[in-house]
A and B are shown apart, each in its own frame.
Chain A
Amino acid sequence: MTEMTDAASDDLSLEGSLAELEKIVRALEEGDLTLEESLKAFERGVSLVRRCNSLLDGAEQKIEILTGDLPEDLAR
């Protein structure tokens, strides 16, 4: 669980957050963690869930174009 540092949560993508959440849930369910570790994992998991929810809440269509300008009807 070395990757479970709180600082990383802010730039984690939705998919990345979900992947980590999946890992955390599995680790918790396997029950091999120490008490300290599982509390930490739980905290981390809760903050990831919060992060995912805020990503979903804040979602609005973000369109970019690699070359040229976005057609007028699509630009906002």
Chain B
Amino acid sequence: MNRVFNVSELNSRIRERLTTDLRLCDLWARGELSNVVNHRSGHRYFTLKDGDSQISCVLFRGYSGGLDFELENGLNVLVYGDVEFYRPRGQVQILVKAARRDSGLGDKHLELEMLKERLAAEGLFDAERKRPIPAYPACIGVVTSPDGAALRDVLRVLGSCPARIVISPAQVQGESAPESIASAISALQGTADVIIVGRGGGSAEDLSPFNSELVARAIFRSSCPVVSAVGHETDVTIADFVADARAPTPSAAAEMVRPDVERLREGLVGIEARMARSLSANLDRRRARFADLGRALSGRRMRGIVSEQRQNVDRITDRLISAEDRRVEGLSGRLELAQGKLDSLSPLSTLFRGYCIALTDRGLARRASEVAAGELLELIFADGELLCRVIEKKADRR
């Protein structure tokens, strides 16, 4: 696919490609200055070159404050910045943010900057991993020279604080210092709750162990927070970047680490008061709840009792009613029965069927033999009585 770009599109593309490459950002380049132009605007334009190549550079006015020397043709320098592509002229250039003279020391500087960059990229300086210094450490570790003034300063400031102080001696200058400091830090692991690492002031060379990777990594590995205290206020080392906190001097480090006993005492009084308050609040709450519960309980119990009683009454009423019913039923049944019996036994019903009862003046006449001829008989019918005289007696018909 052959696409035709116009120049602006092409340059935009190139520019995008160059400026999104992180390897071309925040870099150091070394070379000789030539074509230095100090523009009226305050910007500086120059070319950086070596035996074979050259590249354009621009240092805008805003960054020129960081220059501690005048840019002159022929000077060997180190420049720091980002690679840029200037579209209007189709030119690759370095947007310079800082420049240093490249002397013998320049190499060391460059190394240091490179180490810093590498450690930063690895996350050793990340703010998120900085741990707070414990307010009341039981054990304070101190990594420094046992003979130095720094140790005496630290101990004086710590005074009679309620913590063990454990010195882990280290050699703080010279060839073997980085290793010595690193192993002194390691030796305190598991013992100290916080570690002060440092030394008093000295030359850049004296402080250089605290710029070493060994010390940086030992601080990074520490399981407890580390406070760095290297030299004076103005000395900043890699150890300071890695440490959980940086103190400007050893005394200041001790100040940061020392528990504030007065505040602690006040805090304890406060804690006691809070406990007492919440305990009594707890009791009050409970008392109130008991009262509430008591009320709720009695109300509920009353209602319960009433409803139970109501049910009892209902049940009893039901029982009464059905008992009454049954009793009445029983009674009426018996009544009917009795009535039936009575009816069937009653001579009256016999009379109604057409029979009659014969009475003599001696009483009921059950047989013909009981009555003599010529005697008077009273015959009782259902609807009335007849007074009769026996005319004749006949023999038994059966």
Contact = CB atoms under 8 A, between A and B. Distances in A.
Contact of B159 (A13, A61, A65, A68): A61
Contact of B271 (A14, A25, A31): A25
A64 B165 contact: yes
A5 B279 CA distance: 19
Given A42-B275, A66-B188, A49 B268 contact: yes
B161 interface: yes
A4 interface: no
B155 A53 contact: no
B251 interface: no
A21 B271 contact: yes
A65 B278 CA distance: 45
Contacts of B165: 61-64
A29 B169 contact: no
Nearest to A24: B275
B271 A49 contact: yes
B248 interface: no
Interface size class of B (residues with CB under 8 A): 35 or more
Given A49-B271, A64-B167, A31 B278 contact: yes
B201 interface: no
Interface in B293-342: none
Given A49-B272, A68-B146, A61 B160 contact: yes
Contact of A56 (B162, B271, B272, B281): B162
23 contacts: A14-B136, A16-B138, A21-B268, A25-B271, A25-B274, A31-B282, A38-B282, A42-B275, A45-B271, A46-B275, A49-B268, A52-B264, A52-B268, A56-B162, A61-B155, A61-B158, A62-B165, A65-B169, A66-B168, A67-B187, A68-B146, A70-B146, A74-B152
Interface of B: 134-138, 146-147, 151-152, 155, 158-169, 184, 187-188, 193, 259, 261, 264-265, 267-268, 271-272, 274-276, 278-279, 281-283, 285-286
